[in-house]
Amino acid sequence: MEEINDNLYHKIIQLYQETSSVKETAKKLGTYPIKVRRVLITEGLWNSNTSVQIGSLYERGLSVAEIAKQLFISEKNVQSYLPYSRGQYGGDNRSDEAVRSEVYRERMHVAESSQIKKLNQNTNQYMNPDKEMENNRMDKLDILMERTRQLAEERPIPYAINLHLELDMEDKALGSNEVGILVQYGKMMNNISRDIIVPGDITLHALHYAINRAFGWQNSHLHSFHPCEDDYNKMIKSGKFSDWAKLAGMYFRFPCEDYEDIYWDDDYKAGISVKNWMRKKYTGPYYYGGTREYFCMCQKDVKELYEWQPTLEVRKSFGEWMDECKALAEKTGDKEAKADMIKRIAPITEVTITELADSITFEGGFDELIERLPIYDILLMPGMIQNFDSWDFSNRLILKNSEKEEIYLAPVTSPILNAIRYRYDYGDDWNVKITATACYETKEEYKASGNPIEPMEEHRPVCVDVDALPVCDDVGGIYGYCNMLEVLHGEDLEEKESMKEWARGMGWTGRKTNPPNIL
């Protein structure tokens, strides 16, 4: 594989902190985007579904050629997603702590390029000149006004909603030692959770910033919202892509890696307080400034996929294929024996989502919720009954009505999910389960509850209850967080001081903040 000199390697890392763009970094340094991407993958600063998939297969011992065949891409493409190994670049072997600290300092002291600017530079990838007028109309759309236009008095937005946010650690299999550390040093009583009251019209996009602030993160990593698995399976009863496609642009984002559009609002500038910057993001009025979450754009992507691949060679999953290869090798005595990767050939309208994802590499998941949605139009409030029969009828009606529009802007969805999962930092693997515990239909009803009125008057969320200290970015997930707490309360003074310095740099103080002061 190609080598890269140490000077360029570190310049790429530094400049990427300024631009937040692979293309811009490559352009300014006069190098190739692929080389920039490989450096960032090596340092854990960038990933995608493709890079994670390739990295996983490579770690299992598959060769570049085998990975290319399995994923149906070229060997050169596989190599472009592999991290550099020691020896391919020079320099001292810096500790994880040094890398994390440098990344954070550069984030705070170097002005980051505006995501809005990058969106404008890249818009023509997805919008041809004939669509410029449509794009401008989308940019100016007030999603709440559009909702009012479609629903009128049928389903008014409530004044405020109480949300319970809880770190989901069920799949982490924490031992008694980790739980003890969280209780003793992390001040956890039952779980790491926050209860916040949000304006009734808050969108998932704005909620993302409130969640970051509530748990101690600083918007430094990728994130996404998803239904819980049971609800998702109920939404896509047949499991077929054709049924999922009807919900693209209503509930689900078409899988893509267009980060410039997904993160259209990420315009942080150095020198600004991260807390104040986030506060502006989760304070209303709320709007959507991207383009790819609109119904018409997602349906356009669906149509193009239908036209590009009307018939599909359905491939076996990687696990299924590996099992068959193993069985074939045992049967024939040939260790290199490979089973056929093709399961069947079928019209794309008959293919399941799982089969489609096994057969074509998509840059994203099919269960990612669009973030322009007001939370009240997707999450069930207390007392609401989950009824997929009435929901199916409502969904069909929405689709029918949207066809009458000259431009389908934002068909209003029906609340159907018992809970929403928020994923943050796919490396550290933080997951927050979001449920609604109270809904105040009117201002008078909210006042009578005795909850803080001033934040609602200012159109912003307020935290009303906290369990446990905040966590922080780049700590290594819940296990890394437990290790941090253990070191901070350990006997090794040098290690303790070093960890304390790093934690302070990540904005972690070790103090339990009064709930109303968090947001």
For 188-222, the pLDDT digits (tens) are: 999 999 999 999 999 999 999 999 999 999 888 88
According to DSSP, residue 40 is labeled H
**Whether 126 and 266 share a structural domain:** yes
**Is residue 101 in a domain?**
no
Position 439 pLDDT exceeds 90: yes
According to DSSP, residue 292 is labeled T
Q: What is the pLDDT of residue 401?
A: 64
Q: What is the pLDDT of residue 113?
A: 35
Report whether the peptide linkage leading into residue 515 is cis, meaning its omega lies within 30 degrees of zero.
no
**Is residue 107 in a domain?**
no
**Whether 86 and 55 share a structural domain:** yes
**Whether 288 and 221 share a structural domain:** yes
**Is residue 274 in a domain?**
yes
Residue 62: HSE in the Cβ half-sphere, 13 Å Cα cutoff: 23
- Strand, coil or helix: 109: helix
Tokens of residue 477, six digits: 């997930």
How far apart are alpha carbons 82 and 49 in whole angstroms?
13
**Is residue 99 in a domain?**
no
Give percent of the chain above pLDDT 90: 36
**Is residue 268 in a domain?**
yes
**Whether 379 and 496 share a structural domain:** yes
Position 153 pLDDT exceeds 90: no
Tokens of residue 395, six digits: 């969904």
- Strand, coil or helix: 242: helix
Tokens of residue 129, six digits: 């000149």
| Strands (DSSP E) found in 117-237 | 160-167, 193-199, 223-227
**Is residue 105 in a domain?**
no
Using the structure block, give the residue that is written with the tokens 């008057």. Answer: 457
pLDDT tier, 121 (very low <50, low <70, confident <90, very high otherwise): very low
pLDDT tier, 149 (very low <50, low <70, confident <90, very high otherwise): low
Position 465 pLDDT exceeds 50: yes
Rounded to 5 degrees, φ, ψ at 261 are -85, -40
**Whether 159 and 57 share a structural domain:** no
Least confident of 172-186, 241-255, 310-324: 310-324
**Whether 350 and 267 share a structural domain:** no
**Whether 150 and 85 share a structural domain:** no
Q: What is the pLDDT of residue 484?
A: 92
C-beta of residue 256 within 8 angstroms of C-beta of residue 361: no
**Is residue 111 in a domain?**
no
Domain that holds residue 344: 310-359
Whether this model's pTM surpasses 0.85: no
pLDDT tier, 409 (very low <50, low <70, confident <90, very high otherwise): low
**Is residue 109 in a domain?**
no
Q: What is the pLDDT of residue 424?
A: 93
pLDDT tier, 122 (very low <50, low <70, confident <90, very high otherwise): very low
Digit-coded pLDDT (tens) for 8-59 = 888 888 888 888 888 788 778 877 677 888 888 888 888 887 888 888 888 8
CA dihedral 370, 371, 374, 376 (to 10 degrees): 60
**Whether 494 and 406 share a structural domain:** yes
Per the document, the length of the chain is 519
C-beta of residue 211 within 8 angstroms of C-beta of residue 414: no
Average pLDDT, the chain: 81
Task: Give CA separation, 454 vs 55, 239, 343, in Å.
Answer: 49, 46, 60
Q: Which of 46, 64, 94 delimits the end of a domain?
A: 94
The larger pLDDT score, comparing residue 103 to residue 180, is at 180
Q: Across residues 87-97, what is the average pLDDT?
A: 43
| C-alpha of 195 from chain center | 21
pLDDT tier, 98 (very low <50, low <70, confident <90, very high otherwise): very low
Q: Amino acid letter at 73?
A: I
Q: Which of 339, 359, 379 delimits the end of a domain?
A: 359
Tokens of residue 323, six digits: 């099992």
Q: What is the pLDDT of residue 8?
A: 81
CA dihedral 18, 22, 28, 30 (to 10 degrees): 150
pLDDT tier, 76 (very low <50, low <70, confident <90, very high otherwise): low
* Secondary structure element (H or E) that encloses residue 397, with its range: helix 388-402
Q: Across residues 241-261, what is the average pLDDT?
A: 87
Least confident of 76-85, 320-329, 337-346, 358-367: 76-85
The larger pLDDT score, comparing residue 267 to residue 112, is at 267
Digit-coded pLDDT (tens) for 476-500 = 899 999 999 999 998 888 888 888 8
**Whether 252 and 314 share a structural domain:** no
Q: Which of 94, 126, 147 delimits the end of a domain?
A: 94
Count structural domains, the chain: 3
Position 112 pLDDT exceeds 60: no
How far apart are alpha carbons 411 and 406 in whole angstroms?
13
The CATH code of the domain that includes 199 is 3.10.290.30
Least confident of 84-98, 168-182, 410-424, 472-486: 84-98
**Whether 82 and 3 share a structural domain:** yes
How far apart are alpha carbons 245 and 303 in whole angstroms?
9
Least confident of 278-292, 295-309, 394-408, 473-487: 394-408
How far apart are alpha carbons 31 and 38 in whole angstroms?
12
How far apart are alpha carbons 240 and 235 in whole angstroms?
11
The larger pLDDT score, comparing residue 479 to residue 506, is at 479
Short-list 75, 36, 71, 27, CA closest to 50: 71
**Whether 388 and 351 share a structural domain:** no
**Whether 131 and 277 share a structural domain:** yes
Q: What is the pLDDT of residue 398?
A: 66
